[in-house]
């Protein structure tokens, strides 16, 4: 959970950033703030390492000019996974010159030398402060506000602080951009956590073909750490077409020391797949919904459209087939799995041949689970969405702790009634905060009684995963799954066929069971029938009264 200082910082910074709206385009002004935050973070990390190094050298009897030389040694920082920050780019230097009319140019120059001395950041940071034409006085105010945020001390805690500030800003900006009718797709934390907890990425290749700011990757590595694994066991691959968001992703991952291959530059996933030969163990993504122009004419014969050429007017099944194309095939340890967000129309649409494509995907036994989510989860759109989970291997071999063979089956979860309104227009699923676990000494799992816990454990139980070590139950072994009317149900391919290959969960889970209120059916039926007769009588009385009044009206 964020502490009070973080909340105070972020609230103040948001007000300051919001003041820039008149000068900077709504879809761009977040980069002004987040770029400066990144500069402050790496500068503080550098200074913290410098103080550590100075103490070490002094303890070894190294002082004077020799110490000063070593304190400015590039390798003494990079060896500790700390970015090297040249003197002119350090925050103290920038802050001391914040009142200069050319402060924007000084910031650009600082970023340029940081990229020069840290090759893994080259061309990945925003270097356009001067071009934006922001009034120097406003930049000065922003610099002074950010100066109050401290990222020194424990590096893990500093990374967590900045990570939360980044996440807060991304959400707030997405919310503001949504109100303005624009904005990029920002995946809410609760939705990301559902995807990650169900995919369970322990080791292997993780891929997000439209990675945005890198939130899927951050949560994947958090999952591994929470479950006692080694985050270096994951190899990160991504792609993003928006240049500024591509840079933002690199900053977001860099502050957490997450190494990722996001391609040499931003690129359109359909027209220029930067990882054409990648077969991923885990695919996590939230692609743009219902894209109407995805360059279909240029890609009619693409190898990715194995189940049918997607319609030119909607990219939903273009995305879905791209995911399937990149899923690792079954091997000795099992095949890959994909979890992604889709518009609800993908579950039932027959336009442009989508129904036939969906049928072929279902008949190929690729659909593992469909989750219908409640509306109002996203900052930038109020439409309800669903989660698809697709896999090439339903044997259970690709699960960390094993599972049962579920060939020919698909699990449907209707979670539309879950969540609570955080604001008038935004709904949040409970169980998405870091540290929310079912047991204090558990494996980092979401609470069973939270919204996310209900969804995740229905899926894990159905897959036949073994119970966690902390589960207080004498009967060890696999979970015992059962259908829950109104919430979850299993269907085979033949049953799905009877529904016209429509994947809407509501068709399969049925109505929720009503609790018995203690009134026998016979008595309840008689009572309700009497109340209905009374309603009919009252309706007739009111109708007669209205007619009498109308009869008194002179035409």
Q: What is the per-residue pLDDT across 496-528, written as a single tens digit (0 to 9) for each? A: 999 999 999 999 998 765 555 567 778 778 888
Burial of 463 (0-12, 13-18, 19+ CB in 10 A): buried
Distances in Å between the alpha carbon of 83 and those of 74, 80, 227, 300, 401? 9, 9, 29, 45, 38
Residue 339 neighbours by CB under 8 Å, 6+ apart: 195, 198, 199, 282, 283, 284, 387, 388, 389, 390
Task: Provide the token pair at 204.
Answer: 């292997």
**Mean pLDDT estimate for the chain:** 83
Confidence of residue 435 (pLDDT cuts 50, 70, 90): very low
Confidence of residue 180 (pLDDT cuts 50, 70, 90): very low
Residue 492 neighbours by CB under 8 Å, 6+ apart: 408, 409, 410
Confidence of residue 440 (pLDDT cuts 50, 70, 90): very low
Average pLDDT over residues 204-229: 83
pLDDT tens-digit map of 384-405:
899 999 999 999 887 877 789 9
Task: Provide the token pair at 532.
Answer: 């209905």
DSSP symbol at 478: B
Whether residue 26 contacts residue 176, with contact meaning beta carbons closer than 8 Å, is answered with yes
DSSP symbol at 204: E
Question: Regarding beta strands 385-391 and 367-372, do their DSSP bridges make them parallel or antiparallel, or are they unpaired?
Answer: antiparallel
Task: Provide the token pair at 166.
Answer: 């980044």
Q: How far apart are CA 219 and CA 234, in angstroms?
A: 12
Q: How far apart are CA 199 and CA 398, in angstroms?
A: 10
Average pLDDT over residues 356-382: 90
For the chain, the farthest-separated pair of C-alpha atoms sits apart, in whole angstroms, at: 111
Confidence of residue 9 (pLDDT cuts 50, 70, 90): low
The pLDDT, as a whole number, for residue 443 is 46
pLDDT tens-digit map of 264-286:
999 999 999 999 999 999 999 99
Beta-sheet strands, E only, within 271-430: 282-285, 337-343, 367-372, 385-391, 409-414, 420-421, 427-428
Whether residue 226 contacts residue 444, with contact meaning beta carbons closer than 8 Å, is answered with yes
Q: How far apart are CA 243 and CA 284, in angstroms?
A: 21
- For the CA atoms of 157, 160, 161, 163, what is the dihedral angle to 10 degrees? 160
Residue 369 neighbours by CB under 8 Å, 6+ apart: 198, 387, 388, 389, 410, 411, 412, 413, 459, 462
Q: Which has more pLDDT, 549 or 369?
A: 369
Phi, psi of 388 (to 5 degrees): -105, 140
Phi-psi category of residue 124: left, alpha or beta, with phi > 0 → left and psi -120 to 50 → alpha: alpha
Residue 183 has pLDDT above 50, yes or no: no
Domains of the chain: 4-179 (1.20.1260.30), 189-509 (3.40.50.150)
Q: Hey, how many other C-beta atoms are within 10 angstroms of the C-beta on 63?
A: 11
Distances in Å between the alpha carbon of 77 and those of 67, 123, 183, 203, 349? 14, 21, 37, 29, 55
Whether residue 335 contacts residue 324, with contact meaning beta carbons closer than 8 Å, is answered with no
Angle CA(35)–CA(39)–CA(44) in degrees, nearest 5?
A: 145
pLDDT tens-digit map of 52-80:
999 999 999 999 999 999 999 999 998 88
Burial of 231 (0-12, 13-18, 19+ CB in 10 A): middle
Q: Of 123, 132, 380, nearest to 266 (Cα)?
A: 123
Percent of the chain at pLDDT exceeding 90: 43
Query: Which region among 99-103, 345-349, 353-357, 543-547 has the lowest average model confidence (pLDDT)?
Result: 543-547
Alpha helices by DSSP H, 227-286: 243-254
Residue 529: HSE in the Cβ half-sphere, 13 Å Cα cutoff: 6
Q: How far apart are CA 271 and CA 434, in angstroms?
A: 37
The pLDDT, as a whole number, for residue 416 is 93
Element (H, E) at 237: strand 234-238
């Amino acid at each position: 959970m964020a502490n009070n200082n973080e909340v105070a910082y972020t609230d103040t910074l948001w007000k300051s950033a919001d003041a820039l709206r008149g000068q900077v385009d709504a879809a761009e002004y977040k980069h002004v703030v987040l770029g400066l935050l990144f500069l402050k973070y790496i500068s503080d990390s550098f200074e913290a390492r410098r103080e550590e190094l100075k103490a070490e050298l002094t303890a070894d009897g190294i002082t004077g000019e020799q110490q000063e030389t070593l304190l400015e040694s590039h390798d003494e920082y990079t060896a500790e996974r700390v970015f090297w920050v040249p003197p002119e780019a350090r925050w103290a230097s920038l802050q001391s010159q914040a009142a200069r009319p050319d402060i924007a140019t000084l910031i650009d120059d600082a970023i340029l030398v940081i990229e020069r001395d840290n090759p893994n950041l080259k061309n990945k940071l925003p270097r356009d402060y001067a071009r934006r034409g922001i009034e120097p006085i406003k930049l000065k105010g922003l610099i002074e506000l950010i100066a109050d945020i401290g990222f020194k001390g424990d590096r893990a805690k500093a990374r967590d602080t900045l990570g939360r500030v980044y996440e807060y800003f991304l959400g707030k900006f997405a919310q503001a951009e949504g109100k303005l009718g624009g904005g990029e797709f920002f995946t809410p934390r609760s939705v990301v956590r559902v995807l990650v907890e169900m995919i369970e990425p322990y080791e292997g290749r993780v891929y997000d073909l439209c990675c945005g700011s890198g939130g899927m990757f951050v949560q994947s590595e958090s999952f591994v750490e929470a479950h006692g694994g080694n985050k270096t066991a994951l190899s990160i691959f991504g792609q993003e077409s928006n240049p500024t968001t591509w840079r933002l992703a690199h900053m977001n991952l860099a502050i957490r020391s997450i190494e990722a291959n996001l391609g040499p530059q931003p690129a359109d996933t359909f027209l220029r797949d930067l990882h054409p030969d990648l077969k991923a163990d885990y695919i996590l993504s939230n692609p743009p919904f219902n894209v109407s122009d995805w360059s279909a004419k240029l890609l009619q014969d693409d190898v990715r459209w194995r189940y049918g050429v997607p319609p030119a007017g909607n990219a939903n099944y273009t995305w879905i087939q791209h995911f399937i194309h990149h899923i690792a095939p079954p091997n000795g340890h099992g095949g890959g799995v994909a979890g992604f967000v889709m518009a609800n129309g993908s579950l039932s649409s027959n336009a442009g041949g989508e129904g036939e494509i969906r049928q072929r995907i279902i008949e190929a036994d690729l659909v593992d689970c469909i989750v219908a989510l409640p509306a109002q989860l996203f900052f930038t759109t109020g439409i309800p969405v669903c989660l698809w989970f697709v896999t090439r291997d339903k044997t259970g071999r690709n699960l960390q702790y094993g599972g049962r063979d579920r060939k020919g089956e698909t699990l449907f979860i209707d979670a539309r009634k879950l969540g609570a309104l955080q604001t008038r227009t935004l709904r949040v699923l409970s169980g998405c905060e870091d540290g929310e676990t079912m047991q204090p000494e558990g494996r980092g799992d979401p609470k069973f009684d939270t919204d996310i816990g209900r969804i995740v454990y229905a899926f894990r139980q159905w897959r036949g995963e073994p119970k966690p070590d902390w589960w207080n139950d004498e009967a060890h072994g696999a979970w015992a799954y059962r259908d829950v009317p109104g919430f979850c149900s299993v269907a085979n391919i033949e049953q799905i066929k009877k529904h016209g290959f429509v994947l809407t969960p509501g068709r399969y889970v049925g109505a929720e069971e009503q609790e018995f209120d203690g009134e026998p059916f016979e008595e309840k039926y008689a009572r309700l029938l009497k109340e209905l007769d009374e309603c009919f009588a009252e309706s007739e009385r009111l109708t007669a009264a209205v007619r009498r009044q109308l009869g008194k009206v002179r035409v």
